[in-house]
Amino acid sequence: MSLGTQDEVIADLTPLADCSLCGYQKTLLAAGACKPGDCCVVADSGRQIDRFFHANPGYAADYIHDGFWERRAIVARYLPTSRLQPLLADPDEAVRRVLAYRVPLEWLADLRDDPDREVRITVADRLPEQDLELMAGDPDYLVRAYVAKRLPAGRLFRLLADPDNQVRRTVAERISPVSLGLMVNDADTGIRRIVARRMDADDLALMSKDSDWTVRYEVALRAPAALLQQRSE
């Protein structure tokens, strides 16, 4: 197939709306503010719709309740933040994901229990610290992992016994060394190694008899001489 033929095939696949049925025919189209196959709000093409609202953002509010989910998701990118509230309960998660990035912080509480985990992850990434602990019991481990990364170290105790290793690993890396004694018996060997690397040297006796040799090795690297002598006797 020649290059020219390939271009013709690609061109044939470009969605083209019928401008004769469009309400913008005598306004935007006539002014060159939209173009069939390239910059068009009517075509079922995310690329064309995005170009339309990029060129004509003032029309976004007219499509808040549009029947096509992708059109609403694109609209959510161009609406002023003050106009986003009606979309908080949109049935499509793609729309709500955009909102999670854009709405004012005080609106995020409305998305904290969203059924879509990507929405909740974004909320956990943006929530003010004082509200973040409310998501520590989220059913999805990845959301809790984001919470563990952002919570102040002094408020991580709730996640010490989290059922997921990734969450507890983050806790072990961030919690105050004086509190690491609470994790010396963690079921995960990798987490216990982190604890052995971070806890105060004077507390390492708590881990000197760990069942895993790699943990005991971490202890030996940092243990006071008295503890090492005691272990050698």
User: What is the predicted pLDDT for the residue at 10?
Assistant: 52
Cβ atoms 43, 37 nearer than 8 A: yes
Model confidence pLDDT, tens digit, residues 28-51: 999 999 999 999 999 999 999 999
How far is CA 50 from each of CA 29, 71, 99, 169, 206, rounded to the nearest angstrom? 16, 8, 16, 41, 59
Model confidence pLDDT, tens digit, residues 65-109: 999 999 999 999 999 999 999 999 999 999 999 999 999 999 999
Average of per-residue pLDDT values in the chain: 92
Query: Which element (helix H / strand E) includes 70?
Result: helix 69-78
Beta bridge partners of 35: 39
Could you tell me the pTM of the whole model?
0.83
| 8-16: Cβ within 8 A, 24+ apart | 14/45, 15/43, 15/44, 15/45, 15/48, 16/43
